[in-house]
Structure 1
Amino acid sequence: MKKTLAITALAATALTFTAPTADAHIAAPTWATANSVSTGDQDAPSIATNRNGYVAVVWEDDRDTDNATDNVHSDIWLRLFHNGTAVYEKKLSAGGSSGVTNWRHLHPDVGLDDKGNAVVVWQDDPDGNGFYNIPYRVVSTAGTVTATGNANTSSAGQQINPRVAVDPDGAPSSAAVAFTVAWEDIQTGTPATVKAAGYTGPTTRAWEVTASVATGQQHNPDVAVSASGDADVVWEADGDVGLIRLARTNGAATLSRRVANSNTTGQQTHPSVAANFNGDFAVAWESDHTGTAGSWTRTFTSTGTARYADVLVANGAKAPSIGIDDQAQSVVGWTVQATDLDVWVRGFGTNGTDTGRLSSQQLSSVPAGRQEQMTVAVSPYAEVAVAYTDDNDGNTYDQVYLGTAISNNSW
């Protein structure tokens, strides 16, 4: 089935969003359709931005028109924009093996360095056997694939839910494209774990490690990389949000394995992480610890010290996505269901409030119908870009909408 958010309808009284005040900071985005071809169904977008005006969007593109709920034959497409203008649009997956009818390429993610080079990962089943590996592609600003490979060294078992983060200024010796990939690894007879692999060049794998513990259930990772090249990895860790920082050079823990959330009752799921140039980072996740489902957030200094305890983003908020600027201000995007599915954003300062930042607000190009799978990216200068899937005409086929020219500053 197509991957959509499984969101249980919540009573209107549970949707306790912060009402905009007289000095609320309301976004005024510039909207575009990320995908130039609207045939079929476009899903699962991911977005990245950098300090030089580049924005990259990647998505699943299933151009079959017989069934919008079937992700068979989904391909991975990437489109790069510079200062709001499309630079290229490129299909990165290669289809299926000869004679295979049920191949799938799913769950893409993208990162950018400050030159505009993109790194894309996804879970890949070209032979249709139901088992996935994690390919990556490095793509230049000209749309040329400059490196290919698989993040996982062993193809045994199941590799799913990949995420990638790119070193903004590249590897220190040559400024080559450097990045870290995290994914969920499932081997027969053993609990799921979270793996990570670090690259100090487009094809130079420096290390591969198990980021999580090897016991219990470890799922749904995300990863962020600062200019140091060290990688912050988060994941669902048996009811909490696991957190570790891995060294650029060898994958050793430079921030010990710990829990990112301060409230440890209930279930913490769907974590998202972002880091800035200096190594400050922000985390968002779903939690039900108050008895009401919603999303929460917390930011940390470059040394891993929390700036504040968990802060409520919004009740009813699902599948949060987070970005952070170089002043350690953050923005969270999410999906919520009241009558239709809608997408929202909210900004936070370093004190955990939205004073002078983006107020909690619905943010979509056409509010009618269904909008979901919100994902956000924040530049070092507090510039915000968002992408989400949209079905405003109710035909069950989605497109990916891109919003830019948003700021998390009120000045």
Structure 2
Amino acid sequence: MTARLRSSALLFLVASLAGCGETVIPPTDCQPEKTRCSGACVDLQVDPSHCGSCDRACAEGQSCERGKCSGCQDECEAGRVRCADGAAALQTCLAGEDRCLTWSAAEPCGSNERCEDGACIPGCQDECPESGARECSGAGVRECGEHDEDACLEWSTVTDCPARHTCVEGACVAVCEDECPGLGARECVGEGTRVCGEHDEDECLEWSAVTACGERERCDPQTATCRPLCGDHCDPFSIVLLPDTQYYTSKQADNPSNTYYKQMQWILDHRDDYGIRFVIHLGDVTNNNTVAQWAIADKAHAMLDAAGMSYSMAPGNHDYLNDGVFSRGGTRFGDYFGPERFAGKPWYGGSMDANNLNNYTYFEVGPYRFMVLSLEYSPRKQTLCWAESLIASHPDHRVVIATHCYLTRGGGYSTGCPDGDYNVPGADGGTVWRELARRHSNVFLVVSGHIGDSEYVLAQGNNGNFVHQMLVDYQFEVPCSASSAGACNDHCRSSGYTGNGWLRRLVFSPADEKVFASTTSVEAGNTAVFPGGEPTLFCSPLNAQGQSPYGADPQGPDHQFSFDYALTDPVFYQRDDAGLLGFNDLTVNSAGAGNQLVPRVALSPDGAFTVVWQDNSSSADGDGNHDIMVRGFAPGGCERFDDLVVNPTTSGHQKSPSIGADDNGNFVVAWADDRDGNGVFQIYARGFNADGTQRFAERAVNSVAAGQQLNPRVAMAPDGRFVVAWEDDQDNDGNFQIYLRGFNPDGTQRFADLQVNTNSAGQHLAPSLATDSQARVVVAWQDDSDANDSYQIHGRGFAADGGQWLARFTVNSVSAGQQRKPSVGMDALGGFAVAWEDDADNNGKSQVMVRGFKPDGTERFADLAVSSPDAGEQLAVSLSMRPSGDFVVAWADDADGNGSHQLRARGFSSAGAQRFAERTINRDADGQQLAPDAALNDAGNLVFAWEDDMDGNNGFQILAKGLETSEL
């Protein structure tokens, strides 16, 4: 018996004997059916006080029957013990208050005990420290808790950690994390590719090392694989350069054997196998601009039209011939290759004007977009400006410029394009480069003909881009039917030269990132052209006469070569003129008819400039009557506003214009006006904003209308205040005085008319004036006060309100001879210089002199000779001074005394030291160049304007040229 069982039995015995006294009397003296209880013998079967056992009394109202109290039901057998509370406690069967047997309250077993078969016996042992505790087991984790029927704690079964995890301190943690999205995934990294996979000892996914793409490959972002840089557009394609065809049209018959037709047919025959996408004519389509020659060219290119082949055309100098005289306006180019021919063709973009001399075309190959700009021979400045705006409007195109005259032998820029023989003012090769090609980052190729040679030159543009420049012209090749090439020793530039069918094919290879130049003759196999039909070049060392610009072998490097060009590089656009605003030989007047005379130019601080001149291109006001015209230009020479008539009343005659501008580009024009045609002139002025719109209306300058008022000059201060000086003979005595009047920027009077010269006797002519930053003015004029027909240069200074600032003074130190037509310039602080025509020795040939003055009128530097003492004369002096005091003097120079003048200029510091040497400004020396005017700003921009009759027809045009003093 266990200790627990023994304890329960004792308790039962004690409970049974309670109330029986201290001495228990053994029931030995009672009858057998009775039992002694409390000193009496009782029948336990029926005694309600001792029912079933001593002292077990039945409840009130109950009787004892058969040892049990009637009226209740025993739940258990007396003395019985059972387990309770999930085997954690004991219950004993005892008599309750109703005397019936019932289970007692549960009595818990002891610590670490459990109840089994009615007895508390030693229990189970906890296997783990506390519920919820976790620990690692093998490759998994288990948890402490009651995981079976007993109440003890035990470890759960092991839960394995997921893949790529391990157990650390009772928890599954990742051994590694995937670095990439999925097995086999790929991505581009820089210039290579990498793959997602298990590339190390753990089971996680990670990117492989980058595998660099090949030299001409890139990682395709769509497939993340290395592919050629050109992707799906790697096939090579070609364009054809068609050099001077002038002798095919002029020397060969119009029949199928004409080389021009053969060239067209060759292009069409090889269109597919060579991938020919475009044909560029390089100019000189004809030799003499005749109808018959144009007819051949027309039919030749009709072959391309019929086949749908795209092409471009450019005129050459020979296409300008008209009855033996070169003239841009006389060409028949537009009659045969005008815009109408190309209307409706998707690859034709348009033209600058109606004759199509300047046009643009397109071609595309896959993603590669090209624009071809075909420019006139010796492009005019307005043409270059048009081309600039066109390139800027196509920033996503690769630009090819084709112009007839560009490179020359040796690879330099041709200087002979605006040749006097051609009477065509415009650009030479260097000008096209400086003012167009090098400024735009998407220009990559410039091609030309004109000079019999083959040249390739690589140049770098202002934006760091490379520009490939090419000269292709084989026009002087002569057919040779000799048996061997060595016998063809006089077949260059000799009788019968035509060109021998040579053309240049440029093969673009996107995969190789190169362009291959291939030179071919369509006369290959023709024994009448080449010995044995084998193509050979005769303007080579084969030529005994020395004309050998290139090698004889068409497979040699002069004719077959390559250059790097990555079509796969994206097109980027940027314009940069490098801050250089110079320009060459700009024709200022738009209308070329009649005479354009007396130009005057005003220059703003930013380089914008305005030119005014007298013009008789219109016959509406009568023959010989001029109007005053003005035109504005942006820095660099492109148009700011078009020609406009300054004088609102166009009847009669207007002449002698003058112009002044403020620091914002606003300007005033003054002129002499005889609107009623009576021969009597008044001085008028009109104000304009920088964009050419009116600032104030025309107004009379001279207050007294009597007599003659001539030769006005206007000067404007930086803030817009201006003054006008003029010759005035209001008393009609034939002697002119110099008058001056001051105005506010809006044209209202600042001070009234005043006489500048203090001595009224004699003649006072040719006023010139300049202002400083305070609107003070110095006036200089030629003066013959003593009426001896010998002029001196006088000057006088005035304050902004018209009061005297400097008393009258004589400019020239040497009074002998004649001093005429002064020109004055002034710096910002009032220092000034005066230049003039000087004939001190009275030989009738003037030289140019200049003298400098301080603001107080004292000498800054003495008289010095500006022009060289040549045999001829120097006339029409113009001086312009920048605010810092440096200045430029220009003049018309007939140094050789042949009666033809050139425009010359020389630069000086404020102290009179030379800044740049005397130089010729006009490029075409033919004919006359007269009446120069110069304008210089503080940035060093320098603009000249002059009358030019280069063709000697006595019809003058107004030309202008811009220079940077830093380039002089």
Q: What TM bracket, shorter-length normalisation?
A: 0.7 to 0.9
What stretches of structure 2 of length at least 5 have no aligned partner?
1-580, 785-790
CA offsets per residue over residues 239-268 of structure 1, 9 Å max, x none?
21111111111x111111111122222221
2:919 paired with 1:361: yes
Distance, in Å, in 2 between the alignment partners of 1:350 and 1:122 is: 31
Does residue 370 of structure 1 match 2:928?
yes
Q: 1:233 aligns with which of 765, 768, 779?
A: 779
Shift of the alpha carbon at 1:291?
Answer: 4.5
Relative to total residues, which structure has the larger strand share, 1 or 2?
1
What letter corresponds to residue 632 of structure 2 in structure 1? L
User: 1:82-121 residue pairs with structure 2 within 5 A?
Assistant: 82-84=634-636, 85-88=638-641, 89-97=643-651, 103-121=652-670
The answer for the alignment partner of 1:136 in structure 2 is 685
Deviation at 1:353, TM superposition (A): 3.2
Counterparts of 1:9-408 in structure 2 under 5 Å? Answer: 29-64=583-618, 72-84=624-636, 85-88=638-641, 89-97=643-651, 103-147=652-696, 148-168=698-718, 170=719, 177-186=720-729, 187-189=731-733, 191-207=735-751, 208-213=753-758, 214-238=760-784, 239-249=791-801, 251-291=802-842, 293-314=846-867, 315=869, 316-337=873-894, 338-339=897-898, 340-354=900-914, 357-407=915-965
Aligned residues of 1:326 and 1:381 also touching (Cα < 8 A): no
The CA deviation string for residues 23-81 of structure 1, in whole angstroms up to 9 with x for no partner, is xxxx9753311112212211110111121222111001101579xxx972210011111
- Equivalent pair of 1:50/1:380 in contact (CA under 8 Å): no
Q: Give the direction of change, closer, same or farther, for the CA distance of 1:133–1:372 in structure 2 (3 Å limit).
A: same
1:349 to 1:201, Cα distance in 2 relative to 1, 3 A: closer
Q: Is the 8 A contact 1:347 1:359 kept in 2?
A: yes
Give the match's secondary structure for 1:209: strand
Separation in 2 of the partners of 1:190 and 1:291?
Answer: 25
Q: Deviations over 1:146-165 (max 9, x none)?
A: 21211101111100000000
Contact 2:632/2:691 (CA < 8 Å) preserved in 1? no
> Is the 2:582–2:961 Cα contact (8 Å) retained in structure 1?
no
Partner Cα separation in structure 1 for residue 633 and residue 833 of structure 2: 25
Structure 2 SS opposite 1:331: strand
- 2: distance between equivalents of 1:201 and 1:48? 16
Hey, what's the Cα distance between the residues in 1 that align with 2:588 and 2:964?
16
Instruction: Indicate the SS of the match to 1:360.
Output: strand
d(CA) in 2 for partners of 1:152 and 1:234? 19
Deviations 1:309-360 (A, max 9, x none): 1111123211100011233111111012233221111111233232xx2211
Once residues 150 and 276 of structure 1 are traced to their aligned partners in structure 2, the CA distance between those partners, rounded to angstroms, is 29
Contact 1:243/1:260 (8 A) holds in 2: yes
1:73·1:95 contact (CA, 8 Å) conserved in 2? no
**How far apart are the structure 2 equivalents of 1:299 and 1:87?**
35
Which amino acid is the alignment partner of residue 149 of structure 1? R
The normalised TM-score by structure 2 is 0.37
Provide the alpha-carbon RMSD of the alignment: 2.0
What is the one-letter code of the residue matched to 1:114? Answer: D
- Structure-2 change in CA distance of 1:373 and 1:144 (3 Å): same
AA paired with 1:183?
W
Give, in whole Å, the separation in 2 of the partners of 1:196 and 1:383: 30
Task: Output the CA distance in 1 between the equivalents of 2:623 and 2:825.
Answer: 28
Conserved in 2, the CA contact under 8 Å of 1:109 and 1:122? yes
The structural deviation recorded for 1:370 is 1.3
In structure 2, what is the Cα distance between the partners aligned to 1:280 and 1:36? 38
Residues 58 and 76 of structure 1 are in contact (CA less than 8 Å); yes or no, is this contact kept in structure 2? yes
Q: Is the 8 A contact 2:687 2:747 kept in 1?
A: no
Q: Deviations over 1:278-298 (max 9, x none)?
A: 222111101111455211011
3-state SS of paired residue (1:397): coil
Conserved? CA contact 2:828–2:884, under 8 Å: no
Following the alignment from structure 2 to structure 1, what is the Cα–Cα distance between the partners of residues 617 and 925? 24
Matched AA of 2:739: K
Greater relative CO (CA pairs within 8 A, separation 6+): 1
Rounded Cα–Cα distance in structure 1 between residues aligned with 2:863 and 2:933 = 21
Counterparts of 2:860 and 2:623 in 1: how far apart (Å)? 41
Summarize the Cα distance change of 1:156–1:386 in structure 2 as closer, same or farther, 3 Å threshold.
same
Partner of 2:222: none
- Work out whether residues 391 and 399 of structure 1, in 8 Å CA contact, stay in contact via their aligned partners in 2: yes
8 Å Cα contact 1:200-1:248 kept in structure 2: no
In 2, are the aligned partners of 1:96 and 1:127 still within 8 Å (CA)? Answer: no
Partner AA of 1:142 in structure 2: D
Q: Do the aligned partners of 2:876 and 2:930 also contact (CA within 8 Å) in 1? A: no
CA distance 1:116–1:394, shift in 2 (3 Å): same
Task: Indicate the SS of the match to 1:307.
Answer: strand
The number of residue pairs the alignment matches comes to: 366
CA deviation digits over 1:139-186, x for unaligned, max 9? 102211121211101111100000000011x1xxxxxx3100000001
Q: Answer 1 or 2: which has greater helix percent.
A: 2
Between the two proteins, what is the percent identity of the paired residues?
30
- In 2, the alpha carbon distance for the partners of 1:28 and 1:141 equals 20
For residue 228 of structure 1, what is the amino acid of its counterpart? Q
Contact 1:75 1:95 in 2 (8 A): no
The corresponding residue for 1:15 is: none
